A and B are shown apart, each in its own frame.
Chain A
Amino acid sequence: KAGVTQTPRYLIKTRGQQVTLSCSPISGHRSVSWYQQTPGQGLQFLFEYFSETQRNKGNFPGRFSGRQFSNSRSEMNVSTLELGDSALYLCASNEDRYNEQFFGPGTRLTVL
């Protein structure tokens, strides 16, 4: 099976802009989670979607949002970008039956 894919891999934006990141889970996986990774805060959970419904949410401001489509693909959106949003955004998928989460390579977002 193909692994988790994320697009784009790299992104440069300026403050105040918005951005949309995409994640395609492993075929058959219905759960998709998003994480933010920074040197200062480590890996922080953003939210998790299962069958198009947000099931869990981390402690991020409302500027961070996401959605999941009927084919399990997921997008996350960050509006009004701030310098502190510069990070590696990781997507992970799992079957939900087991707890194994498989991560994609991430999208490196730089906010100037």
Chain B
Amino acid sequence: QQQVKQSPQSLIVQKGGISIINCAYENTAFDYFPWYQQFPGKGPALLIAIRPDVSEKKEGRFTISFNKSAKQFSLHIMDSQPGDSATYFCAAVSRSTLGRLYFGRGTQLTVWP
């Protein structure tokens, strides 16, 4: 079954707006949560990542919020730009299966100018 659930499947945001993508997991052995960005014809690229010992991590316009008790984490893209239009994947890694990423199904983000 899908170990990481991601929503929404698609998202349309106006330029300058906030894009929010949510993910949830069940496996408490997960201890590393990266987000990947993928453009058409390219492989996924690491955007930002968080470990469960912090509740928030910010890098530029991208912020991960992490709720350990709820087993949920989310990506916020502030001041969304047309160049952010891509597919975003959340993922999780367990220390017992290092090297294996469990991916969400992806969110296709479209930012209208």
Contacts and interface: CB of A to CB of B under 8 A. Distances in A.
Interface of A: 4, 31, 33, 35, 42-43, 45, 48, 50, 55-56, 58, 90, 92, 94, 96, 99-106
Interface of B: 32, 34, 36, 41-46, 49, 89, 93, 97-106
A42 B105 CA distance: 5
Given A42-B105, A43-B89, A103 B99 contact: no
Nearest to A39: B106
Contacts of B93: 99
Given A33-B99, A56-B100, A103 B49 contact: no
Contact of A100 (B41, B46, B100): B46
A33 B97 CA distance: 12
Contacts of A43: 44, 89, 101, 103, 106
A42 B101 CA distance: 12
B42 A101 contact: no
Given A42-B105, A43-B89, A100-B49, A106 B100 contact: no
Given A42-B106, A99-B93, A105 B99 contact: no
B46 A48 contact: no
Nearest to B42: A105
Contacts of A104: 43
A56 to B, nearest CB: 5
A33 B93 CA distance: 13
Given A92-B101, A99-B32, A106-B42, 11 more contacts: A4-B43, A43-B101, A43-B103, A43-B106, A45-B101, A55-B98, A94-B99, A96-B99, A100-B34, A100-B46, A105-B42
